[in-house]
Amino acid sequence: MRYYRITFTGYSNSNRAQNIPYIYQSHVNNVFNPGALDISFDLTNGYMHMLQNAFHLRIYNPDWNTFQHADSYQGLDITIEAGFKKGLPLANTLSTKAGLIAYGTVQNCFGNWIGTEIALDFIINPSPVLGNPDNTLSINNNVNSPRDMTFLWPPNQDLKSALATFLKPLKFTLTGDIKNIVNTTRSVKDHKVTSFQDLSDYINGMSIDMVDPATKNSYQTYSGVLMSFTQNPNEIFISDSVAPKAPVYLLNSDFVGQPTFNTKYIQYDDARDNLTIGEVQSTHPLRNDLTLQNSVIFPPDIKSTAIPGQGFIQGKQLIRGLNKMAITQVRHVGRFRDMGPQGWVTHINSNWVGATST
């Protein structure tokens, strides 16, 4: 049985005066509420040099008073839990994987009138400090847009320590492991940071050029330092193609359809006349345990049915099965009352541990 719980915090007495709800949920005391409001969301968590970090939530048919005071949600913190609760057998096995899938700060909330229905639309950023400065928070809530900052990397300091120093005043903890990269120059490397995506893009590109500089006759194989938010609102996770990730073992029943290969990432080894798949995309019933901090191990027999298009093989032999693969992007997509197989799912992109992730 599908489950969700949306919680808003950080409200003031003026918010409370509008008499709007701060919790929306499908279950009350673990009992399903058949009158729970319909919701939809598209929540993507990926390495932030690759995508914008704002995501979207819609709550259908709120009461009229809440609809009129939609702007009262602006500037509030939000957590979104989702997954499955006990019900049919498949849902029973997934009930332990329901939980937090997203958090953030509401940058904007507005009411929409759609035909005969009304809805609340939320634009949400993972952080009020390192969000997107194009999405200005409400002046009425006295919350500032993400502000410009400067990243400094002194000589002889490793990159992980420099990032930890930069993030500490912002009350972020840095977790994860990367290759030891040291500023060997005699000058301070600096970069003006306008958003988390901008910082991530700079760190990723700079680390690739330092570890694996491009040459005329070779390809860059180091992924660079990858940065992302985690399910902890005060934590930022870093990794690269060198550091290992904890695996999640997938069963055949954990899939919606079959995995597909992203042919953009197919890598040929012409000397050995074989083929290595670079990235796999798969869909699963919605769950919260597939994160950027994990790798996945596919069922051993699934490789016999997940075959790339013959046009891309052209006589090459597939030499690797779907074994341990690092998760590079997670996308939760849901419409609570859409009963189709794609109505409440988690999409993941994954590639070989030790391969490039960009």
Q: Is residue 260 part of a domain?
A: yes
On the question of pLDDT at 27 being above 50, the answer is yes
Please state whether the predicted TM-score (pTM) of the whole model is above 0.85: no
241 within 8 A of 317, measured Cβ to Cβ: no
The length of the chain is: 358
User: Same domain for 130 and 162?
Assistant: no
Give the CA dihedral 342, 346, 350, 356, nearest 10 degrees.
110
Q: Is residue 228 part of a domain?
A: yes
- 162: tokens are 């420099």
47 within 8 A of 225, measured Cβ to Cβ: no
- Mean of the per-residue pLDDT values of the chain: 79
Q: Is residue 358 part of a domain?
A: no
Which range marks the domain in which residue 160 is found? Answer: 149-193+195-239
Measured from the Cβ of residue 345, the count of other Cβ atoms closer than 10 Å reads: 18
Q: Is residue 219 part of a domain?
A: yes
User: Same domain for 31 and 130?
Assistant: yes
User: Same domain for 84 and 155?
Assistant: no
User: Same domain for 131 and 182?
Assistant: no
Residues 76-108: pLDDT tens digits?
Answer: 889 999 999 887 776 667 788 889 998 888 888
On the question of pLDDT at 302 being above 90, the answer is no
In total, how many domains does the chain have?
3
Backbone angles phi, psi at 278, to 5 degrees: -85, -40
pLDDT at 91: 62
Indicate the pLDDT class of residue 259, thresholds 50, 70 and 90: confident
User: Same domain for 64 and 91?
Assistant: yes
Measured from the Cβ of residue 306, the count of other Cβ atoms closer than 10 Å reads: 18
User: Same domain for 116 and 199?
Assistant: no
User: Same domain for 326 and 201?
Assistant: no
